Amino acid sequence: MRCLLFACLLLGSLPVLAVDRFQVEGYVLPNGLQVLLKPTADRDHVAIRLVVGVGLDDFACADKELPHLLEHLLFSGIDGTGEGALEERMQALGGEWNAFTGNADTTFVIEAPARNQRKVLDLLLAILTQTRFDANAIHAAKQVVEREEGGHYSHLQRWLDRQDLGHTASKQLAVELGLKCAQRAEARHLSREQLDQVREDWYAPNNMTLIIVGGLDRLLPAYLERTYGDLKAIDPSEHRPLPGIQHPAAVERSLIHGWVGNGAKLHWLFPEPVLDEQYDETFDLLKDYLDWALYRQLRLAHGLSYGPWAEREVFGGVGLLSLNADLEREDLDQARQVLDQLKADLLKNGLDPASFARLKQAAIARQAWAVQGNSALADYYWSALGDFEDGRFDDPARRLQAVTLEHANLALHELLAQPGYVRIEKPLLGDDQVLWLLGAVFGVMVLGGLGWRLRRKQ
Ligand SMILES: [Zn+2]
**Cα–ligand 1 centroid distance for 199 (angstroms):** 17
Q: In the prediction, which pLDDT does 456 show?
A: 84
The answer to which of 69-73, 112-116, 156-160, 375-379 has the lowest mean pLDDT is 156-160
Read off the pLDDT band of 140 (50, 70, 90): very high
- Strands ordered across the beta sheet of 96-101: 25-28, 34-39, 208-214, 45-52, 106-113, 96-101
**Average pLDDT for the chain:** 91
Higher model confidence: residue 162 or residue 178? 178
User: pLDDT tens-digit profile of 384-437?
Assistant: 999 999 999 999 999 999 999 999 999 999 999 999 999 999 988 887 887 888
**Cα–ligand 1 centroid distance for 14 (angstroms):** 40
- 46 residue type, one letter: V
Nearest of 361, 308, 364, 363 to residue 331 by alpha carbon: 308
Which residues make up the environment of ion ligand 1, defined by Cβ < 5 Å? 148
- Strands ordered across the beta sheet of 421-426: 252-256, 421-426, 263-271, 318-328, 309-315
Is the distance from CB of 281 to CB of 403 less than 8 angstroms?
Answer: yes
Task: List, in order of start, the domains of the chain with CATH numbers.
Answer: 23-149+185-230 (3.30.830.10), 252-427 (3.30.830.10)
**Cα–ligand 1 centroid distance for 383 (angstroms):** 19
**Cα–ligand 1 centroid distance for 102 (angstroms):** 10
Burial of 413 (0-12, 13-18, 19+ CB in 10 A): middle
Rounded to an integer, what distance in angstroms lies between the CA atom of residue 284 and that of residue 139?
42
**Cα–ligand 1 centroid distance for 268 (angstroms):** 31
Read off the pLDDT band of 162 (50, 70, 90): low
Is the distance from CB of 411 to CB of 286 less than 8 angstroms?
Answer: yes
**Cα–ligand 1 centroid distance for 304 (angstroms):** 39
Q: Report the percentage of the chain scoring pLDDT > 70.
A: 94
Is the distance from CB of 287 to CB of 196 less than 8 angstroms?
Answer: no
Nearest of 284, 258, 250 to residue 421 by alpha carbon: 250
**Cα–ligand 1 centroid distance for 311 (angstroms):** 25
For residue 195, pLDDT over 60 is answered with yes
**Cα–ligand 1 centroid distance for 313 (angstroms):** 21
Q: In the prediction, which pLDDT does 258 show?
A: 82
**Cα–ligand 1 centroid distance for 146 (angstroms):** 9
For residue 333, pLDDT over 70 is answered with yes
**Cα–ligand 1 centroid distance for 315 (angstroms):** 20
User: pLDDT tens-digit profile of 214-223?
Assistant: 999 999 999 9
Higher model confidence: residue 182 or residue 19? 182
- 305 residue type, one letter: S
HEC string of the chain equals CHHHHHHHHHHHHHHHHHHHHHECEEEECCCCCEEEEEECCCCCEEEEEEEECCCHHHCCHHHCCHHHHHHHHCCCCCCCCHHHHHHHHHHHCCCEEEEEECCCCEEEEEEEEHHHHHHHHHHHHHHHHHCCCCHHHHHHHHHHHHHHCCCCCCHHHHHHHHCCCCCCHHHHHHHHHCCCCCCCCCCCCCCHHHHHHHHHHHCCHHHEEEEEEECCCCCHHHHHHHCHHHCCCCCCCCCCCCCCCCCCCCCEEEEECCCECCEEEEEEEEECCCCCCCHHHHHHHHHHHHHHHHHHHHHHHCCCCCCCEEEEEEECCEEEEEEEEEEEHHHHHHHHHHHHHHHHHHHHHCCCHHHHHHHHHHHHHHCCCCCCHHHHHHHHHHHCHHHEECCEECCHHHHHHCCCHHHHHHHHHHHHCCCCEEEEEECCECHHHHHHHHHHHHHHHHHHHHHHHHHHHC
**Cα–ligand 1 centroid distance for 143 (angstroms):** 10
**Cα–ligand 1 centroid distance for 96 (angstroms):** 16
Q: In the prediction, which pLDDT does 19 show?
A: 45
Q: In the prediction, which pLDDT does 16 show?
A: 41
CA 424 to chain centre: 23
For residue 286, pLDDT over 60 is answered with yes
**Cα–ligand 1 centroid distance for 149 (angstroms):** 8
Write the CA distances from 99 to 73, 105, 155, 347, 455, integer angstroms: 11, 11, 30, 44, 72
**Cα–ligand 1 centroid distance for 367 (angstroms):** 30
**Cα–ligand 1 centroid distance for 99 (angstroms):** 7
Mean of the pLDDT values across residues 90-117?
97
**Cα–ligand 1 centroid distance for 92 (angstroms):** 24
